[in-house]
Structure 1
Amino acid sequence: MAYLRSDAGRLALAEVSRHRLTDATLVSDIAAARTLFGDRTGVLVETVKLRRKASAKFADASGWLFTDDALQQATAAPVAEHRARRLAGATVHDATCSIGAELAALRNWAGFLLGSDIDPVRLAMARHNLGGSVPLCRADALRPITVDAVVVVDPARRTGSRRRFDPRSYLPPLDDLLEVLRDRHHVVKCAPGIDFAVLEQLGFDGEIEVTSLSGSVREACLWSRGLSDGGVRRRATLLDTGEQLTDTEADGCAVAPAGRWIIDPDGAVVRSGLVRHYAARHGLWQLDPDIAYLSGDRLPPGVRGFEVMEQLAFGERQLRQALSARDAGAVEILVRGVDVDPDVLRSRLRLRGSAQVTVVIARLGSGVASRATAFICRPSR
C-alpha cells in the first residue's frame, strides 16, 4: 500500500499502464514489467487492471486504489450522486465507507460527513482516494460511534465471486444492522433482487427505492421512515431518464388487447412493483394483469417501444413462417410468462433475412384459457 502511494509507485503504475494487459498480451506484458519491477509487478498489474475496470463506475478512477471485492461492490458514481442529493445538508456517517466511493459523492452534498470502516486496508485506500477531504476512522458498523447523524451502510453481499442472497448473511447481517439502527435515521444499500417479504419480516417499515442506470437495475436502497416523503413505501428511480415513481401515485389502468405499441417497463419499475402506477401516469394499459408488458397508442418520452406489426398464437413453426415472410434476420426476443430461452429459440428459427424485428412473447389470460402469444414488432430504436 505504501509503495503504491509513493512517488516511485506512481511512476511504476504509469509505466505499467502503457501495456495493453489483454488476455492475448497479459503473459508478455507481465514478463516485460517484471524486468523493471520484480516482485512488485503483480500488485502493479492488478491495480492498473482494476482502474480500467473502474471506468464503468467512475468518471475518473486513474488515481484510485482498489481491491477487486471492493470495486465489485462500489456504487456507480451516478447512483451514489443521486443518493447524496437526497441527503443534501444532513450530517452523514458512512459506517462502511470501504474505499470511499459513497463518500466521494456525499462530500459534495452533506452538511458534515464522517467515514468509518472495520477493514484497515480499505480505510487506507479511502484516505488515499479522497485525498484527506473527509475525516475517517476505524470502527464496527454494529457499534455506532455517532449520535445524531444519518447512518449510511453498504453491507458486503459477496464472498469472493459468490453472492450472498439471504440478507441475514450480509456482512454485517442486515437483521443485526436494522436492529442497531432502529431508532436512527438510516440508509442501507441492498442487492436489487432482495426479497421485500423478508424485509417486512425483519421489521423494516420505511421506503424501498429501486434504482436503475444504463438499462439495468443497480440496487435496492432502504430509507428509514423519517427520511422518506409523505408515506412513500416504494420508489422507482430511473437515472437514464430522470423519472421517479412512487406507490403514493394513482395505479388505475385497464387490461386490454395490444394497441400500436408494446412497452417493456424499466427494470426499476417492475422490481419495485409499480407497473400499474407507471401505466396510469403515461396513459398505458396492461396486456395481462399478471404480466409486466404494457401497451399504448403512443410512447412515453424517451422510452424505447415496439410497434406491433402482427400478432399470432406462439409456436415455433408459425413464428418462423411469419418472420420469413417479413424477411427477418436479426431478431430480438423478449419473453414473460412463457418457458422459452430466447437464445435457443433464435437459433432454432434459422432466419436468413435482412430486416431487424423484435418478437415479444407473453402468456395472456389465466387458467385453461391462457395462451402463449407472439407479437412481431418494429423497435422504435
Structure 2
Amino acid sequence: MSYPFALADVAFLRSAEGEQALAECATLPLTDATRVADVAAARRLVGEKSSAVLETVLLRRRSGSKLDGAQRWLLTGDALQQASPSLVARHRAQRLAGRDVHDVTCSIGADLAELARVARRCVGSDLDEVRLAMARHNCPGVALVRADALRPVTRDTVVIADPARRDAGGRRRWRPEDYQPPLDDLAGVYAGRDLAIKCAPGIDYTALGWAGEVEVVSLDGQVREACLWAGSVATAARRATVLRADGTQWTITDREPDDAGVAGPGEWIIDPDGAVVRAGLVRHYGARHGLWQLDERIAYLTGDRPPPGIRAFRVLEHGSYQEKSLRALLRRHEVGRLEILVRGLDVDPDALRRRLKPRGPSEATVVLTRIGRSPHAFLCRAERSG
C-alpha cells in the first residue's frame, strides 16, 4: 500500500531540511535485506518524517526510466502509476505547441511539465490538494488552481484530461463510464472545445461518437496509452504513434492508402508494432512498406523486404502446423532456444514450448497463425533490419 502523503509532508519535502534529508536517504541501499537498518537510519535522521522521505526516495528510483529528471520529483505511488512517460507526454505536448492549454486533471504534473515547454500559456488544476502541492514543486512557474474537472474555470483553451483508470482497490476500470470523471461527462462539459483525453488502449472507442481521432501510442515496443482528440486538434480518425527512447519516432494514420492486399508468404514475416495493430492500421502500414497480409483477418504481414529499423523474421521453412511435424522440424534444425509467436490460433506458447522440449545449439522463432481456415507454422530467424 502506498504511503498516504499529507500537505505537511509535501511542505517538509520542499523545505531545505527536507531536501537534505532526501539527499542523505538517497544513499541508503533500500533493499529487502537492508530494510530494518535503512528505516532505523532514516528515523535517526528525520524522525517522524522518515516514512515520507523513504517513500519519496523509493518512488524516485522507480520513476527513473519513466520521468525525465526523476530525482527532483515529488510524487505518490498512484500518481506515478498513471503518469505518462515523459517521452509520451512530450509527443502529445508537441501537438499543442503554441496553444493555450488547460490540464484539468494535472495530478503531480507529468503532462504539465512537458506542456509548459511548448504551450503559449498553460494552466493545471486538480481536486487533490496534495498532488497540486507536488505539482507546484514539479512544475515551477505554472499557474495551478484547485478545481473540479467537470466545472470549467478557463475559456478558449485546449483541454487535456487524464481520468482515473483504477478503482480504490487498484483494479483497472475498462468501461468509459467508470472512469473518474467518466469520458462522456468530460466530453459533454467541454463540448465545442478542443479536447484531448487520455485513456487505456483497450477500451471500446466506437461508442464514443464525440472522439474525432483515436491515437494509440507505443514506447519501445510497448503500447502505453491512447488519446482521444476532439475539435480542431483531431486531424485523422485513427493514428498510431511509435516512440523509442533513442529519439526516433514515426506516425501513421488512416488517411494513408490501405491497399496492402493478401497473398502467400514472402521472405519475411513482420509483426507490426502494437500501436499499429490497436489502431487498426495494419493494412496502411503494409501499403506504406510494400508488404501484404497472409490472411485479411490476421495482423501478421509478409514481404520480401522488411521496413528499416525493426525486428523481423526471415522465413526458413513453412507449412501446415502440426505439433508432431514441428517437433521434427526443430530437431532437424537443432533448435534449443525457441521463441513462439501466435496470432489467430488457440495456442499457449509456454505450454507448447514445454511439450516440444527443444534441444540444440541453435536459436529460432516459430510463428504460428491461421491462413484461411488452416493453421500454419513458420520457422524463422529473427533479425534487426537495416
Task: Indicate the TM-score class for this superposition, using the shorter chain for normalisation.
Answer: over 0.9
Shift of residue 15, structure 1, vs aligned partner: 1.6
Match of 2:136 in 1: 127
Match of 2:206 in 1: 197
Match of 1:150 among 147, 158, 182: 158
Q: Name the aligned partner's letter for residue 239 of structure 1.
A: L
Query: Aligned pair 1:138/2:142, yes or no?
Result: no
Q: Name the aligned partner's letter for residue 229 of structure 2.
A: W
Shift of residue 327, structure 1, vs aligned partner: 1.2
Shift of residue 330, structure 1, vs aligned partner: 1.2
Query: Aligned pair 1:117/2:126, yes or no?
Result: yes
Query: Aligned pair 1:188/2:197, yes or no?
Result: yes
Q: Name the aligned partner's letter for residue 147 of structure 2.
A: A
Match of 1:39 in 2: 48
Q: Is the 8 A contact 2:269 2:313 kept in 1?
A: yes
Tell me the alpha carbon deviations over residues 130-189 of structure 1, each in whole angstroms, 9 at most, x when there is no partner. Answer: 12x201110111000111011111111012421111111111111111111111111111
Q: Is the 8 A contact 2:211 2:228 kept in 1?
A: no
Structure 2: tracts of 5 or more residues without a match: 1-9
Q: Name the aligned partner's letter for residue 123 of structure 1.
A: L
Structure 1: tracts of 5 or more residues without a match: none
Q: Name the aligned partner's letter for residue 267 of structure 2.
A: R
DSSP 3-state at the match of 1:62: helix
Match of 2:229 in 1: 223
Cα distance in 2 between the residues matched to 1:178 and 1:27: 49
DSSP 3-state at the match of 2:297: coil
TM-score of the two chains, using structure 1 as the length reference:
0.94
TM-score of the two chains, using structure 2 as the length reference:
0.93
Q: How many residues align?
A: 371
Match of 1:340 in 2: 347
Tell me the alpha carbon deviations over residues 96-148 of structure 1, each in whole angstroms, 9 at most, x when there is no partner. Answer: 110011111011110111111111110000001112x2011101110001110
* % identical equivalent positions: 58
Cα distance in 2 between the residues matched to 1:44 and 1:316: 55
Match of 1:14 in 2: 23
DSSP 3-state at the match of 1:188: strand
From the superposition, tell whether residues 352 and 61 of structure 1 become closer, same or farther in structure 2 (CA, over 3 Å): same
Any runs of at least 4 consecutive aligned residues in structure 1 with deviations exceeding 6 A, and if so which?
none
Match of 1:66 in 2: 75
**What pairs with 1:1-381 in structure 2 (closer than 5 Å)?**
1-131=10-140, 133-159=141-167, 160-199=169-208, 203-229=209-235, 232-240=236-244, 241-365=248-372, 370-381=373-384
Shift of residue 30, structure 1, vs aligned partner: 2.0
Cα distance in 2 between the residues matched to 1:320 and 1:171: 50
Cα distance in 1 between the residues matched to 2:364 and 2:32: 35
Cα distance in 2 between the residues matched to 1:49 and 1:12: 13
Q: Is the 8 A contact 1:194 1:220 kept in 2?
A: no
Cα distance in 2 between the residues matched to 1:149 and 1:285: 43
Cα distance in 2 between the residues matched to 1:27 and 1:341: 42
